[in-house]
């Protein structure tokens, strides 16, 4: 314990006291083989991805943003998660059950819900900026060239210093922290949203939509440019565009929400971007959403971050509380107060209406410290300890400094259980298979000495008679039949090819291009004739039922 205390004391930039109560659970984790297995597997996946980046297999010429093997692994993870959700349900003390898949789809884990919430939040910031008379500026910050593994043409970057994707993300985080500290010292303030997304080789870059006073725009832009280009300044020369870009949003061209909408959508599910083509990779943005999601999950990059506004978790808890109150008080009048305090009830009503602008203003407004927010999220310790002996924290509800006590939004305790499986349905799905015995595993009785008269006409036999005849043939008869079959010259048949329309051919070509193939006519003809194309990791792509499919059934032949 003394040695651990010294190590924790030497940690840089520590502002809070050392959490000595976390030392026993930490030691328990270090003694757990499963914990080490998970950590080693995580390190293995990250290191393997960096090796693929080093050999130029992660770029717009091969697989953009992340390797194709990582995308396949992410698909398998989603498939296993979906199977887990479908096989479990939630049950409470009263015996009420909820399907776990429905609960997950109704939560913020649903990409559509997450996208809608962020778009509503950005729209609220836009309305507040119009009310305050603030201007909106769109910034783009990129890492120096030493973080990029490949060039724009897909070839190795000679300036790359073996920096990982995680290190490029940490560089931007540290740069932004230093800039924020300098900005606060000068008395400048801003609020907005930050989006982290990958270059074609996986290196992180940031897009920021920031709102600020018009008089502070030039000062903030100059200060941010100073911190964005201060490292490896000599490689830029007079052109700082590759590292830093700023654009004042003109309301005549578009609103701030329309500027950031594309970046939010293409980093979640690609909704509404089916016809948009990426300028960097040349591929549809909707097809790139899967690669971006796998990239963020593998490298643990936080894609979205709002700053300068009240927390969104309190917004979710207020909406949950409003829904619970509506179910309990079903006959109450529309607009009737839910909370006794009128200020708290105004915040709840704004959250229930889904108006982020009103919610932020009722909470105290933008650029207000968290300690001055009217409603905050309340947390509590878990009742049961974890496998390592520590009690984690969970959300209890909401609380306010102007009201006594807390309001619980998670009063009902739910437990995860496996669904009951019907034996008859399970047997019908799996099929009945008789066990092998010495009775059904023995070959049928052969009679090689059986002799017949003339040669029967095979063409006039039905299928059952033909099978019985071939099964009872002797060795001599088999040789005679084989000799007769060899004398027959096979007819040349035209190669089989599936017939598809021009639109389906274009769709197939686009889908092949999104998977990293050329989408040439030879590849398409090969797929239409029933062939397959290797896609990596022992998998092959084939075209069946008018869509691309992927399987590993050819693994034994390749």
- For residues 355 and 399, give the distance between their C-alpha atoms in angstroms, rounded to a whole number: 21
Q: Is 263 a catalytic residue?
A: yes
Decide: helix, strand or coil at residue 472.
coil
Q: DSSP letters along 255-311, please?
A: -HHHHHHHHHHHTTT-TT-TT-B-TTT-SBHHHHHHHHHHHHHHHT---EEEESS--
Q: Which of 65, 139, 171, 263 is catalytic?
A: 263
Q: Which residue, 464, 514, 114, 37, is CA-closest to 274?
A: 514
Tell the burial category of 232 from Cβ atoms under 10 Å away from its Cβ (0-12, 13-18, 19+): middle
Locate the DSSP E strands across 404-461.
406-408, 414-418
Contact predicate 513/64, CB 8 Å:
no
Rounded-to-10 torsion of CA 159, 165, 169, 174: -50
Contact predicate 305/194, CB 8 Å:
yes
Q: Which residues contact 22 (CB under 8 A, 6 or more apart)?
A: 390
Residue 380: CB atoms within 10 A of its CB come to 14
Q: Which residues contact 326 (CB under 8 A, 6 or more apart)?
A: none
Contact predicate 515/527, CB 8 Å:
no
Residue 406: CB atoms within 10 A of its CB come to 15
Decide: helix, strand or coil at residue 530.
coil
Q: Which residues contact 38 (CB under 8 A, 6 or more apart)?
A: none
Tokens describing residue 254: 């578009």
Q: Is 191 a catalytic residue?
A: no
Contact predicate 51/271, CB 8 Å:
no
Q: Which of 171, 259, 315, 543 is catalytic?
A: 259
Residues identified as active-site: 259, 263
């Amino acid at each position: 314990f003394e040695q651990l205390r010294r190590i924790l004391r030497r940690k840089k930039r520590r502002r809070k006291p050392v959490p000595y109560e976390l030392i026993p659970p930490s030691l328990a984790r270090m003694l757990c083989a499963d914990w080490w297995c998970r950590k080693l597997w995580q390190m293995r996946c990250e290191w393997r991805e960096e090796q693929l980046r080093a050999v130029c297999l992660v770029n717009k010429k091969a697989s953009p943003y992340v390797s194709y093997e990582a995308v396949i692994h992410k698909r398998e993870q989603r498939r296993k998660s979906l199977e887990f959700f479908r096989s479990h349900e939630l049950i409470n003390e009263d015996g009420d059950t909820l399907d776990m898949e429905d609960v997950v789809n109704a939560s913020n884990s649903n990409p559509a819900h997450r996208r809608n919430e962020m778009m509503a939040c950005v729209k609220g910031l836009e309305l507040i900026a119009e009310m305050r008379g603030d201007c909106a500026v769109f910034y783009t910050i990129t890492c120096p060239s030493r973080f990029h593994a490949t060039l724009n043409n897909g070839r190795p970057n000679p300036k790359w210093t073996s920096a990982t994707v995680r290190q490029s993300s940490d560089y931007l985080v540290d740069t932004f922290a230093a800039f924020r500290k300098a900005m606060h010292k000068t008395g400048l303030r801003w609020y907005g949203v930050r989006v982290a997304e990958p270059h074609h080789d996986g290196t992180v870059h940031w897009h920021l939509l920031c709102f600020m006073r018009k008089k502070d725009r030039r000062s903030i832009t100059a200060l941010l440019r100073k911190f964005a280009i201060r490292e490896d300044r000599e490689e830029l020369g007079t052109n700082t565009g590759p590292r830093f870009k700023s654009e004042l949003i003109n309301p005549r061209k578009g609103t701030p929400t329309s500027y950031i909408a594309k970046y939010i959508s293409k980093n979640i599910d690609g909704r509404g971007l089916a016809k948009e083509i990426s300028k960097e990779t040349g591929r549809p943005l909707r097809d790139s959403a899967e690669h971006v999601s796998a990239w963020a999950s593998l490298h643990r990059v936080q894609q979205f971050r709002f700053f300068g506004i009240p927390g969104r978790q309190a917004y979710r808890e207020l909406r949950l509380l409003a829904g619970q109150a509506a179910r309990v008080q079903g006959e109450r009048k529309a607009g009737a107060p839910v909370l006794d305090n009128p200020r708290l009830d105004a915040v709840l009503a704004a959250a229930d209406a889904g108006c982020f602008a009103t919610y932020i203003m009722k909470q105290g407004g933008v650029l207000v410290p968290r300690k001055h927010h009217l409603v905050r999220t309340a947390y509590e310790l878990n009742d049961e300890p974890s496998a390592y002996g520590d009690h984690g924290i969970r959300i209890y509800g909401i609380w306010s400094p102007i009201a006594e006590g807390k309001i619980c939004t998670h009063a009902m305790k739910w437990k995860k259980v496996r669904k009951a499986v019907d034996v008859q349905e399970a047997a019908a799905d799996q099929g009945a298979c008789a066990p092998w015995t010495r009775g059904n595993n023995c070959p049928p009785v052969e009679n090689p000495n059986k002799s017949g008269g003339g040669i029967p006409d095979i063409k006039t036999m039905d299928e059952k008679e033909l099978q019985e005849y071939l099964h009872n043939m002797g060795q001599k008869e088999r040789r005679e039949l084989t000799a007769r079959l060899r004398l027959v010259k096979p007819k040349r048949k035209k190669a089989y090819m599936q017939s598809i329309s021009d639109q389906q051919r274009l769709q197939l070509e686009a889908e092949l291009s999104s998977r990293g193939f050329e989408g040439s006519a030879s590849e398409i003809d090969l797929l239409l004739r029933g062939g397959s194309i290797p896609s990596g990791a022992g998998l092959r792509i084939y075209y069946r039922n008018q869509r691309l499919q992927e399987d590993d059934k050819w693994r034994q032949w390749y």
